[in-house]
Structure formats: C-alpha cells, structure tokens
Amino acid sequence: MRKLNLKPLAEQVLVITGGSSGIGAATGRAAARAGARVVLAGRDAAELDKVAESIRTDGGQVTTVTMDVGIEEDHHRLLQAALEAYGSVDTWVNNAGVSIFGPLQSVPIEDQRKLFETDYWGVVYGSLTAVPYLRERGGALINVGSEVSDRAIPMQGAYSAAKHAVKGFTDALRMELMQENLPVSVTLIKPGSIDTDYTRRARNYMDVEPVLPPPIYSPEAVAQAILYAAHKPQRDLYVGSAAKIMSSLGHRAPGLMDALGGWLTRHQRSDVPATEGGDGLYEPGVRAATPSPSKVRRHSYYTEVNTRGKGMFWLGTGAVLLVGTVLARRRH
C-alpha cells in the first residue's frame, strides 16, 4: 500500500477555484501567508488580480487563471498553467459555487441546470482533472460542499440538490481511490452560513433580498478547515457547530428539521425589496441591495476543536451530538 504523506503547507502548491472572493480568496491569502505557492482561478479577471495583488503585497507567491469551472477544458488549462508557473500541484481545492433563492416551482429549469454546471459539474471536472495527476505523486483533493450537503433547506432547493450531489460524488471517488491504494486524500468541507458575497451573487426569485440564516461565520474559518485538510488527511470537516447540528438533526430527527422549514424560510428573507439583475449565475456580477449580516463570528470553536487532535475532535463531536439529541427529545 502506498503511504499517504501530505507536505507541509510551506512546501505546497495549491490550486483554488472560486478564488476571486469569499472562501477562495481567504484560503489563498492564508495559504500564501503559510508559505505556499497559490494558483487562484475564477471568471472575474479584475477581481482575481485584486486578490493576487494583496497576496503579493504581503510577500506571497500567486498566479491567476481566468476560467469557468462549468467548462471541462478550462480545468485542463488550469492544471497546465499551475505546472508552468510552479512545476507541480500538491492540493486542488474545488470551491467555486453559486446559489439561487426562491421556491423550486418558481425557478426556471435552465437556471437550475446552470447552477449544476457550476456547483456540481465544476467539482466533477476539477476532481477528474486533478486525480490523474495526483495519483502519480500524491496530494490532497478538497471539495467544498455545504451543511446542505447533508440536509436540504427550503428556498435554496437547487443549491441543496447540487451539494447533495457533490457529497455523493466525493464519497464515491474517495472509496474508489482507497480501493486502488492511491496516495490521494479526498476531503469534503461542509461550511455553515458564511459572510461572503454569496447572497449578492445568487439569482433571486423572492420578493425581497436574500440573507443567510444565523449563525454566520467568516470565510477565514472555512480557510482554516481547508488548509488543515491540505496537510492532514481528513474525510470531512464541518465549519461551525450549527452545520454539524443541522446534519445530526437531519439524520436523527428529520421530522423536526422538516418542521423548522418555516424558520429557515423566514431567516433567508430580509426586509429589503428585491432588486433585478446583477447576479453571478451566468456571468460575474453582484446586486448592491443585499444587506450585510449584523454579526459575524470570526472563528468557529467547533472547527478549531476538530483541527487540534483526535481527543479534542471527539470532545467536540460528543457535545454537538448531545445538543442534537436533547433538541430531538424535546420535540417528542
């Protein structure tokens, strides 16, 4: 059996899709601060250049590639650009994504298909580009899923479905690579609500601007989980205790989660009337009217516990499962 040894971050080259903002940008900055060489990919060349300039100003090494993750050939071009810039790739992060807010019956099928091209097929294309390279030299494949990979929520049905598909693909790929005894770590990251331009870039079919249900965490908390998985093999990592609780309740008390649909719907609706246009579903863009969250948690203590050793992992997991069990029993 070939041993899986991931390099220290300071010796790595990381490829990160969705690198022009949010989680991708935060991960790129944190990786560069740790000494890694970074390849950031995204559709918006101008925004990529801004992130890259901030990294270079801090002394980091970075190159950018303008691409669309929904186009298979672009991933091969991304790999080639990384090899030309740095000679190798050690970690590949499939992070790009977009959402749609609104009842499923109101969302046109063509929009749902486009979402899947980015959120699901973008992960598939990236994974199937990275793995043939990584299988020969070892490394990490990290796919960014969501808390809704485990439990769907209303008003983001297409996004939930795509993230369910990402989980299924990632789990199956991991098992297949394990059977081949390949030195490739495959990780699924499951963030909760994160303070990015996510709602501003989402297509909206509600009568008000969308917001994310609390608690809301900073993108740096997700970057911490991604970079931990880049040098310490992980099966999956949740970002935020709320994400773990949602998953646990979804499995242990699905009826309770169904009953919380009204709460979840209300907490995705702001009091700001919806504006038209400006989303990022088909082309880069944002809407100006989406309100910012009033409170953002800079750190996820649950995630920190899970990235500090096995003893702390089980302590944190036990605490979350206990909370989930108590809530489920109260319902009955």
Neighbours of 280 (CB within 10 A): 22
Q: Within 13 Å of residue 273, how many CA atoms lie on the same side as its CB?
A: 1
Backbone angles phi, psi at 135, to 5 degrees: -65, -25
Choose among 87, 182, 178: nearest CA to 138: 182
Cα distance between residue 229 and residue 52, in whole Å = 23
- DSSP letter at 100? E
Q: Please give the structure tokens belonging to residue 309.
A: 């050793």
- Dihedral angle, C-alpha 34, 39, 40, 42, nearest 10 °: -160
The whole-angstrom separation of Cα 34 and Cα 47 is: 22
Q: Collect all residues with Cβ–Cβ distance below 8 Å to 152 and sequence separation of at least 6.
A: 160, 161, 164
Reply yes or no on whether 228 is catalytic.
no
φ, ψ for residue 203, nearest 5 deg: -75, 140
Catalytic residue, from 86, 120, 125, 159: name it. 159
Chain centre to alpha carbon of residue 158: 16
CA distances from 265 to 28, 250, 260, 274 (A): 33, 16, 9, 16
Question: How far is the CA of 121 from the CAs of 69, 117, 126, 143, in angstroms?
Answer: 8, 5, 8, 12
Task: Please give the positions annotated as active site.
Answer: 159
